[in-house]
Structure 1
Amino acid sequence: MATFLSLFSTLLLIRDVVSVSAPIMRSVWTATADSFSQGNEPQKAIDANLNTFWHSQFNPSPDALPNWIIVDMKNTYNIHAVGYLPRQDGSANGRIGGHKIEVSTDGTNWNLAATGTYLNDDIVKKTNFITRTARYVRITATTEAQGSGLQWTSAAEINVYHEVTYDYSSRTGWTASADSQETVSENSPPSKAIDGDPTTLWHTKYNGGVTAPLPHWFQIDSGTQITVGGLSYLPRGSPGNGRIGQYSIQVSNDGNTWTQVATGMWVDTEDEKISLFSATARYFRLNALTEAGNRGQWTTAREINLVRGETEIVPAAPAASKGLWVSTVDFPLVPAAVATLPNGKVLVWSSFSRDDFGGSNGFTQTAIYDPATGESTPRTVTNTNHDMFCPGISMDFNGRIIVTGGSNAAKTSIYDSAADTWTAGPDMKIARGYQSTTTVSDGRIFNIGGSWSGGEGNKNGEIYSPSANTWTLQSGALVSPMQTQDRQGPYRSDNHGWLFTWKSGTVFQAGPSRAMNWYDTTGAGSVTAAGNRGDDGDAMCGNAVMYDAPAGKILTAGGAANYQEDNARTNAYVITIGATKQNPQVTRVPNMAFARGFANGVALPDGTVFVTGGQSYVKPFTDTTAQFTPELFNPATNTWTQLNPMSIARTYHSVAILLPDATILQGGGGLCGGCGVNHLDAEIFVPPYLLNADGTRRARPVINTVTATARLGATLSITTNSAVTRFALLRSGSATHTVDTDQRRIPLTPSGSGTTYTVTIPSDPGVALPGFWFLFALNSAGTPSVAKIIKITT
């Protein structure tokens, strides 16, 4: 049985038995659908033939969306991914856009595994999710990817994946040959693909400007007949030149007469691929028909193995006391930047490309994600002439998202969700990328650092006035006091400042340098030293979260002395700021269990802080040393708790943000073209405060009424459906590159009883920063309501 896609959670090290993520054999599967056309029956989606496909009925009239297809695997498996290959005949009709994926053990009761939106192209899609027990998988197409209102659905191939241990054939006595080899510019003969060393590779000829054209073949002579259940292929890492896309596999007993046993298409990543089949033969030939990234006519392989057998791994059931990862969200891009909007939806974007960055291209791939449907509406933003990769992000008092710099380093772009429009703002006075911005107490937006683009060094402060639509330099707001001692110098040392708006127009800089500072944004600006962050060192790409704004409490965690190629740390501190321009109190708290750089921190309604993702050795565009287990810091008990692990690595270019229903959206990572670690998705985490001991959802309080707009210092009247003990305000967040200067939490103690309460909003705009906030009610068990979104005004 052929396969077209297999992504492994970790790179394979050559050994006899390994744990991998692999496709399930489809030889006994059946498929049904709500609709099909003659000649395009649902079984065509599981027939191992890329040239056939299932298509919903379209003649004489289409069966309107949604359309669904169900595969019955005949046996129950512990599955964690579904692969979808659009039709391969050159037509775009029926490509799935909006979708949901559900699983079932009985074909009647269905469990949601994923929602989302696939991009309109013909490459393979793979949706990962937390392992679930299932016999049946249902894919429901809710929209057609072309976005033209077309009412049909198609699929060339569907695969399902589980985690197994594989027994690999011994390679003693093997020889390898190929149609082409490069031995001049590099020594890459076929033998390098069976030498047990994943740092070497076979490469077809390219020296002297003479490139051997596709197709290519690679052949194993095992020396004697052996029985195998499949072939494994480990592609090269970055750069990805020569990764195999479409392939076929043949076997022979004499080396002359060949029988095809598998065909398919592999995705353009560095993870190992498996193609399953059953054959007894001496010779095995892998034919490379296309290059996975359409980069050229060459083919490469780090290692090729033959598979003897497999054993499924049954994971331990997650404990509800540690929260649950409940579903995956597929995006049409890598969400390297994110902002929650006043309407409860989420703005995400990548760069000029959905999965790559580079240059100054003057446009950006964006999408609006709707948590209510799980789907995204993509949009290419061209009118601001701004590639918004690696920017500063802040939400102004009116809920507009102000995006600055990045690849187009001087630009400003503004998104207004009320009008659903992007407009160009004025250019900054200093071109920047990797800077941090923060909305200050008078409504202006302070901006500092950012030597990643626009030139290195002297990225002093400037400030944007939304009312005047102007940028003004602040010559006294010097960047030098906040720089780290990064080995790469200013290019890295002024990146991703931890900025917190405070009273009287001041901004507290908590890191990532060990030196802390106060910035005064009045007049020409100024900077005042605020001491060191205890015994911490520089903590680039660590986290800082204001979890109690009235008390001035900030948690910092993790980070590394250098931006890349360095060990991250477990250090954690609580900083308490009070009077402006005075040294804060710094208290070292227990370390995290896991060292993290490139992680994300999220303030939660109950006052805890969720820290997730990252890696212990920071190296951009890699998932090695990824940390899969989130941790929860409880300031009341001064403890960290390890939570259930996620299924997808979230390292460099990942994001995490609080949603209005008090769950967390964590996604992204990669955005590096053919690097093999692009994650065009997110996972939804349900914190323990929403779960009963058996994993079912707790009954939640409901906010029945509250005013939609309130002034600073005002008293809010709130009614609920049941008794509550406290309330919390959390400002709408925005995140990129570990930084979220918008989020902060205000705990509110209510007056009243029964179901009628009043709370008072702090009167200082440096604490209750005007803008849009989530208002949560919490009961005595600490269970939060779904938020009401309110606007705090001056």
Structure 2
Amino acid sequence: MSASFLVATSASGAPAIPSVAQPPAAPHEHAHGYGGAQDDAEHRAQDLVGVPLHEIEKKTAENAARIERQTGRRPGRAEVRASVADADPGVSGQWSSVVDTTVVPVFTAVLPNGKVLIWDSVGDNAAEDYPTHDFTRAMVWNPADDTEKRVDLQGTNLFCAGFSHLADGNILVAGGNANAQLAGTLRTYVFNWRTETWTRGTDMAAARWYPSVTRMANGEEVIIGGGPATAEVYQTNGAIRQLPNFTKYNARLYPFMISRPDTQLGLFGPYNTGWTVTTAGNAAITGTANRDGITRDYGSFATYDIGKTLVVGGGSITEDGVAKRPTRTAVILDANKGLVPTVTTTGAMSTGRRQHNATVLADGSVLVTGGLTSAAVNGGVDLDAAVTTAELWNPVTGQWTVLSAAERIRQYHSTAALLPDGRVMTGGGGICGGCMTAGYLEKNVEYFSPPYLFKKDGSGDPAARPVITGGPATVGIGAAFTLTSPQAADIRKVGLVAPADVTHSVDQGQRYIPLKYSVSGTTLTVTGPPTGGVAPPGWYMLFVTDAAGVPSVARMVQVAKAPTPLMSPLKNSTGKCVDIPQSALTARTYLQTYTCNNTKAQSLTRFTDNTLRVFGMCADVPSSNFVNGQRIWQFGCNGTGAQRWQFGADGTVRPVSKTTLCLAAAANTNAAQVKIVTCTGAALQKWTW
């Protein structure tokens, strides 16, 4: 199935998108996806593969000292800080002082206890014969008091690995750097956030370097890119299976991807072509589309609402008449309707950026930090083209606001992550060929407090914050729960934010999920996320935001799989499951029952809008013909009553528009027709999820 993105005009009041001249095609696109020798050569040069980190640090420090003697300026320090340091933090936010660390924050994962797992590459011990690639320098950082605990990993180098939170809050790491020849690794590791220890997991089928990992509605983790074309899935039991029906992306460049509301996987960057993928069983591509004509390498993205993702910056194009510059444009992808997302333009940043980080904040707005404004000299680091001011995107207006500037330059190998207290921790930069030449190595962090943390009276004083005084430890999909707050009557937003898993401008973990709620006294009654595609199972930061726009400190909660799990078979009492014949992706394919086999053809998603979906389509009563004996097919979801079902405690599944009829199998044999018939209580009309 193929389609093109629908590109709409910008929202009212948004500035026009800058003029952009595009190359005819993405530079690394091949028959089986993206990638190739050019990616490998570029990354080998940039990442100094094979060079021990102590040697990188030594050479970088020598170059930094030499440059400072010649110019009077230390590489990595921003010269514009003084001009914005006195700005009202209620308008421009406020940066902290710089805090040194013993590990460069190249890979950053926020843990459920508010601490942060950080690692970089091989160690820098004094011994000159220290093995290069059988060690990873890592630490657990505590932003509450700026202390650290080293948790170095022996046995492999996790540099250039992909990673994501598991449902229990532990961190799955896939791939890494094997040797000086730039080979990836087959290995996976799990970091236990409670014990702060590493455990080796199941090996993948193929070695990966620069893959991405994304958590799905059923708790599985999809691994794509990094060299091999065939995607893989880390299952909830720790085993790994291949997805032979998705071989479209093999680039050694972290793909942009996230779980969609319909529980499928959306892959939408950095290259222009993207896919919608059902990851159950051996996978199926249900949609292919082009985004906006721009290869947004080292751009960034943030999912800021249900099914809505901001993609911003990146690339090396001709824009506003200037060649080899990253774009300042941004687009919104909406995956709530259809098998491919619709695309609309939104406001553009004040300047183009690449190597920046887009971070969703506690109120659903998006902060962009760091980066460089030109790819003409070096696409990874150019200290003369640094951007140190932050910019804030408002999802209501589509506009960007320039905020205050950081003290340190954050470019290649820098990260940014939202903390439970509402601040953003930025850090890192360096460990690359251009970085070493420029004397650029930032082994430190600094914190940005967004404007929402300050009073708006010009005093610069901290704002009074709403407080969550009570709430659950676990939140269910579509299930109601209560929060207590003395400021309940003043609350205007309740939202979940998934903790960060960020490296190389790509954060596979973060997303903001607004929740519906009502207020009575000091109690907020809140409805959980609508599907596991919106909120895959795991730990989240739960924020409330008041009428002044001030967020609370987050309460950490665990989102569980629904009691009737998503992406699961619908089985009747005779032991047969609703099935899509031959896993057909076409509309008007009639449903059948078949022996339950745990394949993608039987992985259905029950939505809180009462639809029943597979492959992004809905179980449908043809032409709303609610009569006894009518067969049921799959059809494009359209919001009509023909696609809404009532799941009863008695095991029946009934069309909402006519509840005297029940979903039923015509027989207890394979390939039996699925129909709606007059409800009789028969076994063929009883279903379990």
Q: What's the TM-score bracket when you normalise by the shorter of the two chains?
A: 0.5 to 0.7
Match of 1:601 in 2: 358
What secondary structure, in the 3-state scheme, does the structure 2 residue paired with 1:696 have?
coil
2 CA distance for matches of 1:632 and 1:242? 36
Distance 1:727 1:674, change over 3 A: same
Structure 1 residue 473 displacement after superposition: 1.2
Match of 1:651 in 2: 411
2 CA distance for matches of 1:313 and 1:429? 48
CA contact (8 A) 1:360 1:407 kept: no
Is 2:324 the counterpart of 1:548?
no
Distance 1:381 1:625, change over 3 A: same
Is 2:268 the counterpart of 1:514?
no
Is 2:501 the counterpart of 1:727?
no
Partner deviation per Cα, 1:197-244 (whole Å, 9 max, x = no partner)? xxxxxxxxxxxxxxxxxxxxxxxxxxxxxxxxxxxxxxxxx999989x
- Specify which of 589, 602, 605 is matched with residue 346 of structure 2: 589
AA aligned opposite 1:729 = L
Match of 1:751 in 2: 518
Structure 1 residue 505 displacement after superposition: 4.3
2 CA distance for matches of 1:432 and 1:745? 29
Distance 1:504 1:640, change over 3 A: closer
Structure 1 residue 379 displacement after superposition: 2.6
Structure with greater contact order relative to length (CA < 8 Å, sep ≥ 6) = 2
2 CA distance for matches of 1:662 and 1:271? 39
Partner deviation per Cα, 1:119-157 (whole Å, 9 max, x = no partner)? xxxxxxxxxxxxxxxxxxxxxxxxxxxxxxxxxxxxxxx
4+ residue segments displaced more than 6 Å? 238-243, 302-305
- Specify which of 201, 213, 226 is matched with residue 450 of structure 1: 226
AA aligned opposite 1:434 = Y
Identity of matched residues, %: 32
Q: Which has the higher strand share?
A: 1
What secondary structure, in the 3-state scheme, does the structure 2 residue paired with 1:601 have?
strand
Match of 1:217 in 2: none
Match of 2:334 in 1: 576
Is 2:282 the counterpart of 1:524?
yes
What secondary structure, in the 3-state scheme, does the structure 2 residue paired with 1:689 have?
helix
AA aligned opposite 2:67 = E
CA contact (8 A) 1:653 1:670 kept: yes
Match of 1:702 in 2: 467
Match of 1:739 in 2: 506
2 CA distance for matches of 1:269 and 1:671? 13
What secondary structure, in the 3-state scheme, does the structure 2 residue paired with 1:448 have?
strand
Partner deviation per Cα, 1:21-74 (whole Å, 9 max, x = no partner)? xxxxxxxxxxxxxxxxxxxxxxxxxxxxxxxxxxxxxxxxxxxxxxxxxxxxxx
- Specify which of 434, 443, 447 is matched with residue 684 of structure 1: 447
Distance 1:718 1:586, change over 3 A: same
Is 2:240 the counterpart of 1:471?
yes
Distance 1:322 1:362, change over 3 A: same
Match of 2:25 in 1: none
CA contact (8 A) 2:370 2:409 kept: yes
AA aligned opposite 1:516 = G
Structure 1 residue 697 displacement after superposition: 0.3
Structure 1 residue 527 displacement after superposition: 2.4
1 CA distance for matches of 2:487 and 2:350? 38
Task: Pick the structure with greater CA Rg.
Answer: 1
2 CA distance for matches of 1:708 and 1:761? 13
Consecutive unaligned residues of structure 1, counting only runs of 5 or more, are: 1-237, 244-265, 275-301, 306-311, 452-457, 481-489
Distance 1:390 1:722, change over 3 A: same
Structure 1 residue 744 displacement after superposition: 0.7
Residue pairs, 1:660-675, within 5 angstroms: 660-672=420-432, 674-675=436-437
- Specify which of 351, 362, 367 is matched with residue 610 of structure 1: 367
1 CA distance for matches of 2:170 and 2:194? 9
- Specify which of 322, 331, 335 is matched with residue 101 of structure 2: 331
Match of 1:131 in 2: none
AA aligned opposite 1:273 = E
1 CA distance for matches of 2:336 and 2:211? 25
**What's the TM-score once normalised by structure 2's chain length?**
0.65
Distance 1:378 1:714, change over 3 A: same
Match of 1:10 in 2: none
CA contact (8 A) 1:333 1:355 kept: no
What secondary structure, in the 3-state scheme, does the structure 2 residue paired with 1:726 have?
strand
CA contact (8 A) 2:424 2:449 kept: yes
Match of 1:713 in 2: 478
Residue pairs, 1:123-134, within 5 angstroms: none
Structure 1 residue 567 displacement after superposition: 2.2
Aligned length: 475
**What's the TM-score once normalised by structure 1's chain length?**
0.57
Structure 1 residue 498 displacement after superposition: 0.6
Distance 1:609 1:355, change over 3 A: farther
Bigger shift: residues 736-745 or 496-505: 496-505
Distance 1:601 1:313, change over 3 A: closer
What secondary structure, in the 3-state scheme, does the structure 1 residue paired with 2:150 have?
strand
Is 2:64 the counterpart of 1:269?
yes
2 CA distance for matches of 1:585 and 1:315? 41
Match of 1:380 in 2: 152
Q: Which has the higher helix share?
A: 2
What secondary structure, in the 3-state scheme, does the structure 2 residue paired with 1:447 have?
strand
Structure 1 residue 674 displacement after superposition: 4.5
CA contact (8 A) 2:98 2:407 kept: no
Structure 1 residue 678 displacement after superposition: 0.7
- Specify which of 366, 379, 391 is matched with residue 138 of structure 2: 366
Structure 1 residue 623 displacement after superposition: 3.0
Match of 2:401 in 1: 641
Match of 1:629 in 2: 389
Match of 1:537 in 2: 294
Partner deviation per Cα, 1:561-591 (whole Å, 9 max, x = no partner)? 48xx9421111001111246x2211001121
Match of 2:206 in 1: 430
2 CA distance for matches of 1:780 and 1:691? 14
AA aligned opposite 2:343 = V
2 CA distance for matches of 1:680 and 1:412? 26
What secondary structure, in the 3-state scheme, does the structure 1 residue paired with 2:343 have?
strand
Distance 1:239 1:773, change over 3 A: closer
Distance 1:716 1:538, change over 3 A: same
The alignment yields a C-alpha RMSD, in angstroms, of 2.7
Residue pairs, 1:17-416, within 5 angstroms: 269=64, 272-274=67-69, 315-316=83-84, 317-320=86-89, 321-353=91-123, 361-382=133-154, 385-408=155-178, 409-416=185-192
